[in-house]
Amino acid sequence: MKPLNLIALLFFLGGAVWALTRSERSVREIQAAYYSAMSPFLKSGSKIETHARKFLEETRHSKELEIELEETREQLGRLRLIESRFRTIEDENKQFRHALDFKKATHFDVVAASVIRRNPTTWWQTVEIDAGSNRGIGTQLSVLSNEGLVGKIDRIDNGGERSSVLLLTDEKCQVAARVEGSPEVGILNGQRGGLGGDPMLRLRFLSANASVRPGQRVFTTGRGGVFQPNILLGTIESVEKGALDSEAFVRPAVNFANLGAVFVVLSAES
């Protein structure tokens, strides 16, 4: 081997060892620096994408839009009626709660955000949202959609305008879960190699003779300090019983292939 190649190899191995021995904190600092360098490109990329989407929307046939407008008007009227009914029920509910001295139900303080893009990784399931520390978002906060739990915040960008969400479908996203109508609790997480199209979740550590059946819903327990209680996770598809414990396969409540608006839970009062 040529001396120059040998020196290069030694430097390379030294560099690799240096990188492999970085602490969690320095890794986060490196990531923050990387994403702040990447930020201008990501911003302009998002702008171009928005313009392109607008252009495509504008080119849609006006007749189609007229029909859509008519349908939306009808829906709006219907929703107004529902809303007025909802308000009445809410007022009644408030009065009853006050009268019975009910504890306040779990209330979430949330920030709405849009999913900008999926991160370009093969094995990890993460998406980027357009809200960061400038809107009070920090790491480990849970992210919801109107269908159920989406995941949790994994990383915040330096600029404070974006953050990365680790999806529930990722193997690393673990959630303490309970099965509706049964005393069974377990840990729910994504499957390794579970692809985006039709992902399934694994609910592990159920008791060996767990009385759970397909169709039962799975909710968060609220234990573990990351996720709030009673958030819908999905529905049991099948159950596999083992000698020591059982495992259930859960279809997620959220459609991860079509994630648009999400909500980051800033705080929750119980």
Partner 1 sequence: MIRYSAITIFLLLAAFVIQQFLPAFTGLHDSRILLVQLVFLCCAVTVGPPTMLILAFIGGFFWDAQCALGPHGGDSEVYTQQVESMRFGYSILLFGGMGFLMQGLQPLFKQGKWQFSALLSGIAVFFYLAAEYAIINFVRGDLVLTRSTVLQMAYTAILAMLISPAVFWLLFFVAKNCNHSINPEAGRRTRRRSAY
Nearer to partner 1, 62 or 121 (CB): 121
Nearer to partner 1, 166 or 236 (CB): 166
Q: Is 155 in the site for partner 1 (CB under 8 A)?
A: yes
Q: Is 56 in the site for partner 1 (CB under 8 A)?
A: no
Q: Is 31 in the site for partner 1 (CB under 8 A)?
A: yes
- Select the residue interacting with partner 1 from 43, 118, 135, 251 (CB under 8 A): 118
- Rounded CA Rg of the chain: 24
Contact call for residues 214 and 248 (beta carbons, < 8 A) = no
Q: How many helices (H) and strands (E) does the chain have?
A: 3, 12
Helical ranges in the chain per DSSP H: 3-20, 24-58, 62-100
Q: Is 183 in the site for partner 1 (CB under 8 A)?
A: no
Q: Is 178 in the site for partner 1 (CB under 8 A)?
A: no
Q: Is 251 in the site for partner 1 (CB under 8 A)?
A: no
- Phi/psi for 236 (5° steps) reads -70, 130
CB of 67 to partner 1, least distance (A): 29
Q: Is 207 in the site for partner 1 (CB under 8 A)?
A: no
CB of 134 to partner 1, least distance (A): 20
Q: Which stretch binds partner 1 (CB under 8 A): 19-27, 79-87, 94-102, 235-243?
A: 19-27
Q: Which stretch binds partner 1 (CB under 8 A): 57-65, 88-96, 122-130, 262-270?
A: 122-130
Question: What CA–CA distance (Å, rounded) separates 142 from 112?
Answer: 12
Spacing of C-alpha 111 from chain mean position: 13
- Select the residue interacting with partner 1 from 103, 120, 183, 215 (CB under 8 A): 120
Q: Is 55 in the site for partner 1 (CB under 8 A)?
A: no
Question: What CA–CA distance (Å, rounded) separates 2 from 193?
Answer: 42
Q: Which two tokens stand for residue 17?
A: 């060892």
Contact call for residues 171 and 191 (beta carbons, < 8 A) = yes
- Select the residue interacting with partner 1 from 36, 38, 60, 87 (CB under 8 A): 38
Q: Is 123 in the site for partner 1 (CB under 8 A)?
A: yes
DSSP state of 113: E
Task: Give the torsion sign (CA, 69, 70, 71, 75).
Answer: positive
Q: For tokens 């955000």, what's the residue?
A: 113
DSSP state of 254: S
Q: Within the chain, what is the greatest distance between any pair of CA atoms?
A: 87
Nearer to partner 1, 99 or 257 (CB): 257
Summarize as ranges the residues that interact with partner 1 (CB under 8 A).
4-5, 7-9, 11-12, 15-16, 18-22, 24, 27-28, 30-31, 33-34, 38, 41-42, 45, 117-124, 126, 139-140, 154-155, 166, 170-174, 176, 187, 189, 191-193, 195-197, 223-226, 257
